[in-house]
Amino acid sequence: MWTVGKGLGSVFLIGALAACGPKAAPKPIPVPPPVVVAPPPTPSMPLPPGGAAVTMKIPPFGADGVRITPNRNLSREEYIWHLRSGINVAALNCQGPVWGEIAQNYNRFLQIHKSRLAQTNKAVDAEFVKRFPGQNALRVRDTRTTDLYNYFALPPVRAEFCDKSLQKSRELLTIPSNTLPEYSFGALNDLDAVFINFYNAFVQYERDLADWNARYGPKSTATMATTSPAPTAISTK
């Protein structure tokens, strides 16, 4: 009996010691990785309207607040001739199944208003001779006509210019010749608005580009030198 009791005591003692022993360390709770918020994408750099050259020169505003173009401050007869020049440029530059009609309408326009256009041409010649006394006035007119043709041929607005010219070429076939001066005033301003709107859009592009460069563009050397900490002077003593 003693032996058995002693053995049981030993079993109880061992069990007690085991219960009082060090407990296993708890498993660490996994910490989720920090949420990384991606910065908003950088907006694309603004581009010139119509794929225009970035170095394009924009005509300034006149005293009346309207941009100065070759179609400003014209005489009554010059309005007719400038409109004829614009439709002529469209007849040459606007091709295809839709715009090809402009060339047909232009040729009909020359026939319908032949007498009035001849009168206009002589009147404009006389105006230039009076305006440029002692000079080769007709050569001055030829030079300005070349500049006018180049103005109407501005590539970035070709599609809009062709659409507007198609409309005007159709209207020119329906008006009496004696109303050509009044019609030309409004029609030429409509054509010119295509170019003025483009110039205004280009100026807005320049503003948008300046803002984009200030926000997202590379810092200039001068700016980096200003914002960088000054180097610590090392004593040589």
* Domain locations along the chain: 75-214
pLDDT digits (tens, 9 = 90+) for 28-47: 788 888 877 777 788 899 99
Torsion of CA 149, 155, 159, 160, to 10 degrees: -70
Write the pLDDT tens digit of every residue in 93-129. 999 999 999 999 999 999 999 999 999 999 999 999 9
Q: What is the pLDDT of residue 135?
A: 86
Measured at the CA of 156, the angle between CA 151 and CA 160, to 5 degrees, comes to 85
pTM (two decimals)? 0.76
CB 48 within 8 A of CB 54: yes
